Structure 1
Amino acid sequence: MGLTIGVDVGGTKIAAGVVGADGKIGARTHRDTPANSVDATAAAICEAAAELIADHEVEAVGIGAAGFVSSDRSTVLFAPNLAWRDEPLGARVADVLKVPVVVENDANAAAWGEFAFGAARDVEHMVCITVGTGIGGGVVIGGELLRGANGVAAELGHMRVVPGGHRCGCGARGCIEQYASGSALVREGRAQAESGSLAAAQMLSVCGITDPALLTGPMITQAATAGDPCAVELFDDLGRWLGEGLASIATLFDPATIVIGGGVSAAGDLLLRSATIAFEKNLPAKANRPHPTFGLALLGNDAGIIGAADLARRPAPAPEKHR
């Protein structure tokens, strides 16, 4: 198959690009996401793709959507930040564009991008975890994307690590997303600053602010990279939670490589170091089993576009038969 389009649908922006079989993005476009309207969101996706189709011979479109996607890669069953509920997105977009359309969970699409063309392109078994505002992830086993019986497998951010812990947006308490995400990093940083901690006050000064409410994840990352003790400690805590969670994930899937992406991964070795230490400490039977390698994602914000476009080239898996 020749050119395909990948569409990455976020809560605020729809990014689309024409992608070749080599994973390279050619033309690009974007639209704002009208997140409160199902019809307007579908229309914006169609407009972005149609703009690219007008100048390129495109054979299929892949859409990465944040939410639960059916196993036939057509229906968005549920999206936490968009208005989709049992939305037949694939069929709606295909009816307008007149080309085949597949829909995939956005974290799965990003993971596939890293597997096919990025940091895990030389292995057959990998886990990709994206650490941003929340935590997403995808798992590839034997060269195949793990979707599960209903298409909703590998929701890594919602693995529970603290029974009765912080309430998560999914409705449960104690998900790892509440302890190892960018949101958790900011929450803890603001809490320390509001407590009157002198170390946190120094961190705010390094960030050029005095009001804890103005503190952001990138500010903490920049302060930690500059060596601020409070910011470094915040990353150590986040990395510990992440590493402990990844030790459990590795026990389940036995990956050759674990790839860490998302906005928080901009901290680089600062995050990798603390996560790796916690991982090695908590991996069961650590002295008697091979350990996966750790690496940072290579494709950045393009991973979702590239992965969705490549998945559009591949036939949908056969639906699971329930007894």
Structure 2
Amino acid sequence: MLHISNTRQRHRPTPASEVVSRAEILGLLAERGPLSRGEIAKQLGLGAATVTAQVRNLMAEGMVRDLPAGQSAGAGRPKVPVQLVPDAAVVIGLGITPRSVVVVSMLLDGEILASDVVPFSPDKDPVGQLAAVVTRQMQDMAHPGRTVAVGISVSGAVDENSSTVIISATLNWENFDLGQQLQQALDLPVFVSNDLFALATREISFGLGRRHDDFLLLGLGPGVGMGIVNRRSVFYGPGGASTEFGHMSVDPEGPRCVCGNRGCLQVYAGLKELLAAAPDPTPETTLDDLSARASVPGSPASSYLDRTGRMLGRSLGGTVNLLGISTIIVTGETTALWEHLRNGFEQGLQETVLRFHHPLTITVREWTEAEGAIGAAGMALHNAVVLNRSDPAS
């Protein structure tokens, strides 16, 4: 593995109330368009003083602006609409895989300006390669000086406070202070996160998190993972290792997992493992192949995916009971099989979730190649703009 020394530091957290109000105001203006301060306060359930203070701060940073006053419906002063300025800030997101980097640039309202896929080798000067990718992306912008941060998502355990990759088996990195080194190369704030946690952070400001303060993000792909969002914050354990949902053992007599235990969800629902254990597998079996076979009612492939879905649903049901969070987002490459997993998944949830947690809200996100990079950009935007952090290790 690539070993690189690192120095970990802790950042000073922004008060929770400020984070929530700042994120909600930006998200609401992005979704609804210009609103008066009074309308913002009413729709978000925030105090007038809180809205006034946060709008003043955002206006000083050029992220919102006042529009000409309009006439109020009754007596009193005219309403002054507040408008988001989407191009006031741009972030760049990188989704890293062992063979390529997907790069996107994102505006303040979450709109994607541009995207690209670039070859990448994680063991050959990764900082130099990534700095070149970011530099080229900025050179193509009309206003590169408006770039406020870079976000990176990787598969593995990441110390968010220092943007250090603790370990990534897929990239063969260990104790790699990627954020600090790339920040020095670019002279821009760089934030590094686990890929699933980055997507969860993006949801807080630009997705389901606009309407729900608490939700679970179930990731189904090469790994089986979970992001936990509670009170608009993503949960992390010490040193970046937490919510190893894929290594929940569901059968003590099951196959050996790469982690050393037996019967983990990973050995049943990880993308590679799912394809390898499918009925009549071949080395060339793809998600499309398995989906086509499962489309035949009563086929072995159909029953196989139904059992897998049920196993996932039962495991997730236990998590819902434990945390009391009943809003669920499902994402990842394996969602291409969702029509075949859904019935078993819902059955598993019904069999395990306590009745007072019903009804459950389940949203399945369509997966694209750029999702990791989009999540990284959203995470960087959240950290740099919502949390107002200029240095990921400060």
Band of TM-score, shorter chain: 0.7 to 0.9
CA distance in 1, matches of 2:298, 2:203: 32
Matches within 5 A, 1:152-301: 152-189=241-278, 192-193=279-280, 212-225=282-295, 227=297, 229-283=299-353, 286-298=354-366, 300-301=368-369
Q: Please, which of 24, 27, 43 is the counterpart of residue 128 of structure 2?
A: 43
CA distance in 2, matches of 1:115, 1:59: 19
CA distance in 2, matches of 1:186, 1:13: 23
1:302 corresponds in structure 2 to 370
CA distance in 2, matches of 1:127, 1:219: 29
CA shift, 1:22, in A, is: 1.5
1:136 corresponds in structure 2 to 225
CA distance in 1, matches of 2:204, 2:309: 23
Kept in 2: contact 1:221–1:264 (CA 8 A): no
Q: Please, which of 11, 36, 48 is the counterpart of residue 98 of structure 2?
A: 11
Does 2:187 align with 1:107?
Answer: no
CA shift, 1:121, in A, is: 4.2
CA shift, 1:19, in A, is: 0.7
Deviations 1:194-245 (A, max 9, x none): xxxxxxxxxxxxxxxxx73332333102322354612211110110111111
1:89 corresponds in structure 2 to 178
In structure 2, relative to structure 1, the CA distance for the partners of 1:222 and 1:112 (3 Å cut) is: farther
CA shift, 1:107, in A, is: 1.2
Deviations 1:164-196 (A, max 9, x none): 53222233332211112322322222xx42xxx
Instruction: Say which structure, 1 or 2, has more relative contact order (CA 8 Å, 6+ apart).
Output: 1
CA distance in 2, matches of 1:108, 1:88: 18
| Matched AA of 1:50 | T
In structure 2, relative to structure 1, the CA distance for the partners of 1:120 and 1:169 (3 Å cut) is: farther
Aligned residues: 296
| Matched AA of 2:202 | G
In structure 2, relative to structure 1, the CA distance for the partners of 1:142 and 1:299 (3 Å cut) is: farther
RMSD: 2.5
Q: Please, which of 159, 180, 184 is the counterpart of residue 70 of structure 1?
A: 159
Runs (4 or more) in structure 1 with deviation over 4 Å come to none
Normalised to the residue count of structure 1, the TM-score between the two structures is 0.83
Deviations 1:106-162 (A, max 9, x none): 111123334433455421111111111221221111111111232222222222222
Kept in 1: contact 2:162–2:177 (CA 8 A): no
Q: Which runs of 5+ in 2 are unaligned?
A: 1-62, 64-88
Provide the secondary structure at the position in 1 that maps to 2:212.
coil
Provide the secondary structure at the position in 1 that maps to 2:350.
helix
Provide the secondary structure at the position in 2 that maps to 1:14.
strand
1:29 corresponds in structure 2 to 116
